[in-house]
Structure 1
Amino acid sequence: MTCEHVPSAPVAPRRSIELGAEEALALLGSVSLGRVVFTRQALPTIRPVNHVLDDGDIVIRTHEGAALTSRTWKAGDPGVVVAYEADSIDPDTHLGWSVVVTGYAQPVTDPGELTRYQALLRPWVDRSMDYAIRIVPDLITGVRLTEARPSPTV
Protein backbone atom coordinates (compact mmCIF):
# COMPACT_ATOMS: atom_id res chain seq x y z
CA MET A 1 0.00 0.00 0.00
CA THR A 2 1.41 3.38 -0.95
CA CYS A 3 0.42 6.76 0.31
CA GLU A 4 0.61 9.61 -2.10
CA HIS A 5 1.38 13.02 -0.61
CA VAL A 6 -0.21 15.93 -2.35
CA PRO A 7 1.88 19.01 -1.58
CA SER A 8 -0.02 22.11 -0.63
CA ALA A 9 0.45 25.27 -2.63
CA PRO A 10 3.44 27.34 -1.56
CA VAL A 11 2.65 29.89 1.11
CA ALA A 12 4.09 33.32 1.66
CA PRO A 13 6.66 33.73 4.43
CA ARG A 14 5.29 33.76 7.95
CA ARG A 15 6.14 35.88 10.94
CA SER A 16 6.25 34.48 14.46
CA ILE A 17 4.97 36.79 17.21
CA GLU A 18 5.65 35.88 20.84
CA LEU A 19 2.55 35.71 23.03
CA GLY A 20 2.24 36.80 26.64
CA ALA A 21 1.38 34.16 29.24
CA GLU A 22 -2.21 35.39 29.70
CA GLU A 23 -3.00 35.35 25.97
CA ALA A 24 -1.25 31.99 25.54
CA LEU A 25 -3.36 30.39 28.30
CA ALA A 26 -6.54 31.91 26.86
CA LEU A 27 -5.74 30.35 23.48
CA LEU A 28 -4.94 26.99 25.10
CA GLY A 29 -8.31 27.16 26.86
CA SER A 30 -10.06 27.74 23.52
CA VAL A 31 -9.24 24.23 22.27
CA SER A 32 -9.83 20.84 23.84
CA LEU A 33 -7.02 18.75 22.37
CA GLY A 34 -3.30 18.92 23.09
CA ARG A 35 -0.22 16.78 23.69
CA VAL A 36 1.36 15.95 27.03
CA VAL A 37 5.11 15.34 26.99
CA PHE A 38 6.82 13.41 29.78
CA THR A 39 9.64 10.93 30.27
CA ARG A 40 9.13 7.19 30.29
CA GLN A 41 12.12 4.97 30.95
CA ALA A 42 14.31 8.08 30.58
CA LEU A 43 13.01 8.78 27.06
CA PRO A 44 10.62 11.51 25.90
CA THR A 45 7.05 10.35 25.38
CA ILE A 46 4.20 12.30 23.79
CA ARG A 47 0.51 11.45 24.11
CA PRO A 48 -2.43 13.26 22.50
CA VAL A 49 -5.07 14.03 25.14
CA ASN A 50 -8.05 16.25 25.65
CA HIS A 51 -7.97 18.82 28.42
CA VAL A 52 -9.83 21.47 30.31
CA LEU A 53 -8.32 24.69 31.62
CA ASP A 54 -9.44 25.20 35.21
CA ASP A 55 -8.37 28.29 37.13
CA GLY A 56 -5.10 28.45 35.18
CA ASP A 57 -4.30 24.73 35.57
CA ILE A 58 -4.53 22.15 32.79
CA VAL A 59 -6.45 19.00 33.71
CA ILE A 60 -6.39 15.78 31.73
CA ARG A 61 -8.03 12.43 32.40
CA THR A 62 -6.15 9.19 32.25
CA HIS A 63 -6.50 5.53 33.09
CA GLU A 64 -5.01 3.02 35.46
CA GLY A 65 -1.78 1.63 34.08
CA ALA A 66 -1.03 4.70 31.94
CA ALA A 67 2.63 5.71 32.15
CA LEU A 68 1.80 9.09 33.69
CA THR A 69 -0.82 7.65 36.04
CA SER A 70 1.43 4.89 37.33
CA ARG A 71 4.07 7.39 38.50
CA THR A 72 4.44 7.15 42.29
CA TRP A 73 4.04 10.48 44.07
CA LYS A 74 5.12 11.07 47.63
CA ALA A 75 3.62 13.57 50.07
CA GLY A 76 5.26 16.96 49.54
CA ASP A 77 6.50 15.97 46.06
CA PRO A 78 5.86 18.87 43.64
CA GLY A 79 4.99 16.36 40.92
CA VAL A 80 6.48 15.19 37.65
CA VAL A 81 7.86 17.77 35.22
CA VAL A 82 5.88 17.69 31.97
CA ALA A 83 5.29 19.88 28.95
CA TYR A 84 1.86 20.43 27.43
CA GLU A 85 1.38 21.70 23.88
CA ALA A 86 -1.74 22.77 22.05
CA ASP A 87 -2.14 24.61 18.77
CA SER A 88 -4.43 25.70 16.02
CA ILE A 89 -2.49 26.00 12.77
CA ASP A 90 -4.24 25.91 9.43
CA PRO A 91 -2.63 23.17 7.29
CA ASP A 92 -3.06 25.17 4.07
CA THR A 93 -2.22 28.74 5.09
CA HIS A 94 0.14 27.85 7.97
CA LEU A 95 -1.45 30.64 10.01
CA GLY A 96 -2.44 30.15 13.64
CA TRP A 97 -0.84 29.73 17.03
CA SER A 98 1.01 27.28 19.26
CA VAL A 99 1.31 27.26 23.06
CA VAL A 100 3.68 25.24 25.24
CA VAL A 101 3.30 25.02 29.01
CA THR A 102 5.96 23.46 31.22
CA GLY A 103 5.05 22.60 34.77
CA TYR A 104 4.42 19.94 37.36
CA ALA A 105 1.84 17.19 36.91
CA GLN A 106 0.13 15.84 40.02
CA PRO A 107 -2.71 13.40 40.47
CA VAL A 108 -6.09 14.78 41.46
CA THR A 109 -6.87 12.89 44.65
CA ASP A 110 -9.80 14.82 46.13
CA PRO A 111 -12.94 12.76 45.37
CA GLY A 112 -15.10 15.87 44.84
CA GLU A 113 -12.62 17.40 42.39
CA LEU A 114 -12.26 14.10 40.56
CA THR A 115 -16.04 13.81 40.16
CA ARG A 116 -16.17 17.41 38.90
CA TYR A 117 -13.45 16.77 36.30
CA GLN A 118 -15.16 13.56 35.19
CA ALA A 119 -18.24 15.67 34.44
CA LEU A 120 -16.30 18.49 32.73
CA LEU A 121 -13.94 16.39 30.66
CA ARG A 122 -15.32 13.62 28.50
CA PRO A 123 -12.67 11.15 27.26
CA TRP A 124 -12.34 10.90 23.49
CA VAL A 125 -11.02 7.36 23.59
CA ASP A 126 -13.13 4.29 24.27
CA ARG A 127 -11.72 3.21 27.61
CA SER A 128 -12.26 3.76 31.31
CA MET A 129 -10.63 7.02 32.42
CA ASP A 130 -10.95 7.01 36.19
CA TYR A 131 -7.99 9.27 36.99
CA ALA A 132 -7.20 12.93 36.49
CA ILE A 133 -3.88 14.73 36.35
CA ARG A 134 -3.48 18.44 37.08
CA ILE A 135 -0.64 20.31 35.37
CA VAL A 136 0.33 23.45 37.25
CA PRO A 137 1.99 25.82 34.76
CA ASP A 138 5.43 27.12 35.63
CA LEU A 139 6.59 28.38 32.23
CA ILE A 140 4.11 29.49 29.54
CA THR A 141 5.25 30.32 26.02
CA GLY A 142 3.38 30.80 22.80
CA VAL A 143 3.67 32.09 19.26
CA ARG A 144 1.17 33.39 16.75
CA LEU A 145 1.99 32.72 13.09
CA THR A 146 0.91 35.61 10.88
CA GLU A 147 1.58 36.68 7.33
CA ALA A 148 4.90 38.48 7.01
CA ARG A 149 4.46 42.10 6.11
CA PRO A 150 6.32 43.16 3.00
CA SER A 151 9.30 45.42 3.59
CA PRO A 152 8.57 49.03 2.74
CA THR A 153 10.23 50.13 -0.49
CA VAL A 154 12.32 53.25 -0.46
Structure 2
Amino acid sequence: MYPNDGFRELGREECLRLLATVPVGRIVYTRKALPAVLPVNFRLDHDGAVVLRTAAASESARAVDGAVVAFEADAVNAVAQAGWSVVVTGRAEVVTDEAERQRLEGIGLCSWVPAPEEVFVRIEPDLVTGRELLAGRTLYGLHLSA
Protein backbone atom coordinates (compact mmCIF):
# COMPACT_ATOMS: atom_id res chain seq x y z
CA MET A 1 0.00 0.00 0.00
CA TYR A 2 1.28 3.45 -0.84
CA PRO A 3 1.42 6.14 1.86
CA ASN A 4 -1.48 8.63 1.74
CA ASP A 5 -3.45 6.62 -0.81
CA GLY A 6 -6.60 7.01 1.28
CA PHE A 7 -6.63 3.44 2.57
CA ARG A 8 -5.68 2.00 5.93
CA GLU A 9 -4.61 -1.60 6.29
CA LEU A 10 -6.57 -3.51 8.89
CA GLY A 11 -5.10 -6.01 11.34
CA ARG A 12 -6.40 -9.55 11.64
CA GLU A 13 -8.46 -8.96 14.79
CA GLU A 14 -10.06 -5.82 13.38
CA CYS A 15 -10.87 -7.69 10.15
CA LEU A 16 -12.60 -10.48 12.08
CA ARG A 17 -14.50 -7.95 14.21
CA LEU A 18 -15.76 -6.19 11.07
CA LEU A 19 -16.70 -9.48 9.38
CA ALA A 20 -18.91 -10.32 12.33
CA THR A 21 -20.96 -7.15 11.68
CA VAL A 22 -22.28 -8.09 8.23
CA PRO A 23 -24.51 -11.03 7.22
CA VAL A 24 -23.50 -11.46 3.57
CA GLY A 25 -20.22 -12.06 1.78
CA ARG A 26 -18.90 -13.66 -1.39
CA ILE A 27 -17.05 -16.94 -1.75
CA VAL A 28 -14.55 -17.06 -4.61
CA TYR A 29 -13.67 -20.50 -5.94
CA THR A 30 -12.77 -22.30 -9.16
CA ARG A 31 -15.52 -23.70 -11.36
CA LYS A 32 -14.50 -25.49 -14.57
CA ALA A 33 -11.03 -23.89 -14.36
CA LEU A 34 -12.53 -20.38 -14.17
CA PRO A 35 -13.06 -18.08 -11.20
CA ALA A 36 -16.57 -18.14 -9.75
CA VAL A 37 -18.08 -15.77 -7.18
CA LEU A 38 -21.18 -16.60 -5.19
CA PRO A 39 -22.91 -14.35 -2.64
CA VAL A 40 -23.68 -16.22 0.57
CA ASN A 41 -24.85 -15.60 4.09
CA PHE A 42 -22.36 -16.70 6.76
CA ARG A 43 -21.32 -16.66 10.38
CA LEU A 44 -17.91 -16.47 12.00
CA ASP A 45 -17.05 -19.36 14.27
CA HIS A 46 -15.31 -18.82 17.63
CA ASP A 47 -11.85 -19.26 16.06
CA GLY A 48 -12.44 -16.85 13.16
CA ALA A 49 -13.36 -19.53 10.63
CA VAL A 50 -16.04 -18.54 8.12
CA VAL A 51 -19.00 -20.95 8.16
CA LEU A 52 -21.53 -21.32 5.34
CA ARG A 53 -24.57 -23.59 5.13
CA THR A 54 -25.80 -24.94 1.81
CA ALA A 55 -27.52 -27.84 0.11
CA ALA A 56 -25.43 -31.01 0.24
CA ALA A 57 -26.12 -31.57 -3.46
CA SER A 58 -25.12 -28.05 -4.53
CA GLU A 59 -22.43 -27.56 -7.13
CA SER A 60 -20.70 -25.02 -4.89
CA ALA A 61 -20.41 -27.45 -1.94
CA ARG A 62 -18.74 -30.02 -4.18
CA ALA A 63 -16.50 -27.43 -5.85
CA VAL A 64 -15.12 -25.92 -2.64
CA ASP A 65 -14.67 -29.06 -0.53
CA GLY A 66 -10.92 -29.43 0.01
CA ALA A 67 -10.07 -26.39 -2.15
CA VAL A 68 -8.33 -23.15 -1.27
CA VAL A 69 -10.88 -20.36 -1.61
CA ALA A 70 -11.23 -16.68 -0.88
CA PHE A 71 -14.10 -15.15 1.03
CA GLU A 72 -14.80 -11.42 0.87
CA ALA A 73 -17.22 -9.21 2.75
CA ASP A 74 -17.50 -5.47 2.97
CA ALA A 75 -19.54 -2.48 4.02
CA VAL A 76 -19.69 0.54 1.76
CA ASN A 77 -21.25 3.98 2.13
CA ALA A 78 -21.54 5.12 -1.49
CA VAL A 79 -22.58 8.66 -0.58
CA ALA A 80 -19.61 9.24 1.71
CA GLN A 81 -17.37 7.11 -0.51
CA ALA A 82 -16.10 5.26 2.53
CA GLY A 83 -16.10 1.71 3.76
CA TRP A 84 -14.06 -1.41 4.35
CA SER A 85 -13.33 -4.75 2.72
CA VAL A 86 -11.99 -7.95 4.29
CA VAL A 87 -10.70 -11.06 2.51
CA VAL A 88 -10.21 -14.44 4.20
CA THR A 89 -8.17 -16.98 2.26
CA GLY A 90 -7.95 -20.61 3.30
CA ARG A 91 -9.00 -24.19 2.73
CA ALA A 92 -12.72 -24.92 2.64
CA GLU A 93 -14.02 -28.23 3.98
CA VAL A 94 -17.49 -29.70 4.21
CA VAL A 95 -17.97 -30.53 7.89
CA THR A 96 -18.46 -34.29 8.22
CA ASP A 97 -17.90 -34.82 11.95
CA GLU A 98 -21.34 -35.30 13.53
CA ALA A 99 -20.41 -33.64 16.85
CA GLU A 100 -19.08 -30.60 14.98
CA ARG A 101 -22.23 -30.47 12.82
CA GLN A 102 -24.37 -30.49 15.96
CA ARG A 103 -22.30 -27.69 17.49
CA LEU A 104 -22.64 -25.60 14.31
CA GLU A 105 -26.42 -26.05 14.40
CA GLY A 106 -26.31 -23.74 17.40
CA ILE A 107 -24.65 -20.74 15.73
CA GLY A 108 -27.88 -19.57 14.11
CA LEU A 109 -26.94 -20.02 10.48
CA CYS A 110 -29.77 -20.89 8.11
CA SER A 111 -29.56 -21.58 4.39
CA TRP A 112 -31.19 -18.98 2.15
CA VAL A 113 -32.76 -21.83 0.20
CA PRO A 114 -33.56 -24.71 2.58
CA ALA A 115 -32.83 -28.18 1.19
CA PRO A 116 -33.71 -31.67 2.42
CA GLU A 117 -30.04 -32.28 3.20
CA GLU A 118 -27.73 -29.41 4.13
CA VAL A 119 -24.05 -29.23 4.94
CA PHE A 120 -21.83 -26.75 6.72
CA VAL A 121 -18.77 -25.52 4.87
CA ARG A 122 -15.93 -24.22 7.02
CA ILE A 123 -13.20 -21.92 5.65
CA GLU A 124 -10.09 -21.94 7.81
CA PRO A 125 -8.65 -18.40 7.99
CA ASP A 126 -5.04 -18.93 6.89
CA LEU A 127 -4.72 -15.37 5.58
CA VAL A 128 -6.93 -12.49 6.73
CA THR A 129 -6.44 -9.10 5.12
CA GLY A 130 -8.48 -5.95 4.94
CA ARG A 131 -8.47 -2.29 4.26
CA GLU A 132 -10.58 0.70 5.07
CA LEU A 133 -11.21 3.66 2.79
CA LEU A 134 -10.54 6.56 5.12
CA ALA A 135 -11.85 9.67 3.45
CA GLY A 136 -13.16 8.96 -0.02
CA ARG A 137 -13.05 11.88 -2.42
CA THR A 138 -12.78 14.43 0.37
CA LEU A 139 -9.22 13.25 1.01
CA TYR A 140 -7.90 15.49 -1.75
CA GLY A 141 -10.34 18.34 -1.23
CA LEU A 142 -12.65 17.13 -3.99
CA HIS A 143 -16.36 17.65 -3.52
CA LEU A 144 -19.03 15.05 -4.13
CA SER A 145 -21.08 15.85 -7.21
CA ALA A 146 -23.52 14.03 -9.40
1:46: which partner in 2? 37
Is 2:94 aligned against 1:102?
A: no
Q: What is aligned with 2:144?
A: none
Question: Percentage identity across aligned positions?
Answer: 42
Q: How does 1:127-138 map to 2 (within 5 A)?
A: 127-128=114-115, 130-138=118-126
Q: Which structure has greater helix proportion?
A: 2
Gaps of 5+ in 2: 142-146
Structure 1 counterpart of 2:73, from 75, 86, 93: 86
User: Which residue is 1:141 aligned to?
Assistant: 129
Q: Which amino acid aligns with 2:16?
A: L
Give 1:101 shift. 0.9
Q: Which AA in structure 2 matches 1:83? A: A
CA displacement 1:45-95 (0-9 Å, x = unmatched): 11111111111111101112222322496xxxxx21100000011122121
Higher Rg of the two aligned structures: 1
Q: 2:51 aligns with which of 59, 74, 78?
A: 59
SS of match in other structure, 1:86? strand
Aligned residues: 133
TM-score by length of 2: 0.80
Partners of 2:35 and 2:64 in 1: how far apart? 18
* 1: CA distance, partners of 2:57 / 2:16: 29
* 1:24-54 Cα shifts (integer Å, max 9, x gaps): 1111122121000000110111111111111
**Gaps spanning 5+ residues in structure 1: where?**
1-13, 74-78
2:61 equivalent in structure 1: 69
Matched, 1:36 2:24: no
Preserved CA contact (<8 Å) 2:15 2:86: yes
**Deviation at residue 149 of structure 1 after TM alignment:** 4.6
Kept in 1, the 8 Å contact 2:49–2:122? The answer is yes
Q: What secondary structure sits across from 1:44 in the alignment? A: strand
